Structure 1
Amino acid sequence: DFPAFIVNRILLPMINEAVYTLYEGVGSVEAIDTAMKLGANHPMGPLELADFIGLDVCLAVMQVLYDGLADSKYRPCPLLVKYVEAGWLGRKTNRGFYDYNGPDPVPTR
């Protein structure tokens, strides 16, 4: 038996790496999402997807993976932790990596 589902083990580290990319200043929210949409043909970028899933859910899954597999590649990015602690949970709270209060989502960073 292994912790988490196959999709979570593959998808959440990708999302977490996108958050690290933002956290380390490698790219903006818009640049990261656009790169994955255009470069990998994803229908939405990883940060937009994280907002859709819920940042609290993403963090919870990363913590289960990190605790269950004891592998540093599953360590949640501090920025993800900070957003969840601040109540920025994505679409469900109208704020995450994007602000959803207007007619169109606007990157928060």
Structure 2
Amino acid sequence: MDNSQKKWGSATLPESSIVFTGLLLTIFGIIFRDSIGITSLLTALGIGLFIGGSVYIAVEGPELVRLTLAFVSLVAFQLVFFGGVVRWIGGIMIGTVIVSTSYSRLSK
């Protein structure tokens, strides 16, 4: 068998380049404004890539746990911008991500 074949589940970009891309999109969306709202979408996409990639890099452990915490952080970040109980749910979810990330880093 040839071991040089790529696995189906392997990432094509390293995580740091995803975070860097998110940072660039966020900066581009903040600096340039348009009347259509495309830069607002680019800013939101950049923030999402930045947060998800940062959480993915910060977590030590299996890939499923890393992806789950990255997804939860994205959802929680959006919920914080709503009001009332939804904001508290988002805050609790962000707290859970922080505690889980800290636990995974300290348990190794």
TM-score (norm: length of structure 1): 0.30
The structure with the largest helix share of the pair is 2
Larger RCO, structure (CA 8 Å, separation 6 or more): 1
Larger Rg: 2
> TM-score under structure 2 normalisation?
0.30
